[in-house]
Every structure is written in C-alpha cells, then in structure tokens.
Amino acid sequence: MSLLTTACASSSAWVELAGERIAVEIADDDEERARGLMFRDTLADGHGMLFIHEREERQAYWMKNTRIALDILYFDASLRLVSQQRDVPPCSAGDRCPPYPSSKPARYVLELNAGEARRMDLQDGALLRLGPGVGEAP
C-alpha cells in the first residue's frame, strides 16, 4: 500500500452537500492543487477532492493527466455553489488539455465523479458544509 493510499484511508476530512456526506482529500497548497487527481484510475463512490484557495477569484481547472471523468464544482467564500462544470472528460493531451473555468469568483473547488452533480440535482446556490477542521490553517 502506498503512503498516499494510507494517508487517504486514514483521513477523516469530509464535507456535506445536498444532504450527503462526502469524504474528501484536501488540496490546499500549490503542489497539491497542481497534482489534484492526476494519474488516478478511480475515485471511490462517496469521495472527492476539495481544493482550497487563499483568495476568492475566478478559477480554471483542467484535466491534464486525469484518467477519470469528473464534475468540477466551484464555491464562493460563503460556500455557495456559483459554477459547475459537469461530466468533464479525461484528457491525455498534456498541455493541450482545455481549461474548465468558473463563471464567477470561487474559493473552494470540489471534484466528484462525473454524474454526481446530476444525481444530487445540484443547483447554483447550494451550500457546502465543511467538516471539523476542514479549511482551517494548519
């Protein structure tokens, strides 16, 4: 078992969205945000990755070296869903992968398996709830 798998398995970070609790890995520094979910073959059901930015501003994510289709959900500093990119396909084109921007400024970005936003019937304005310790400075 890799260190990354061990760390993720022991992580207890979570968020709640649309009445569902989602186990999340946290990406809150430049290195973690840059790597994101690259090179992963799967993302377990009920799991996601939460990207936390220092400032609320327009964000743009891409799927470079990402092997799984994702929903990319953008939340503002008040934890309101402000933009969605659903069913974003994997991309193996390296630096030629297209960006998927937020339509409004965002501070938090949640990546889930493609289809989850539709399954949860997410609408802009939905509130994200952070679990204990999530989003706090280390």
Q: What is the CATH number of domain 11-128?
A: 2.60.120.1140
Mean pLDDT, all residues of the chain:
91
Residues paired with residue 73 on neighbouring β-strands, in sequence order: 84, 110
* pLDDT tens profile 82-96: 999 999 999 989 899
Could you state, in order of their start, the residue ranges of all structural domains in the chain? 11-128
Q: What pLDDT is recorded for position 3? A: 37
* pLDDT tens profile 21-70: 999 999 999 999 999 999 999 999 999 999 999 999 999 999 999 999 99
CA 61 to CA 67: how far, in whole Å?
15
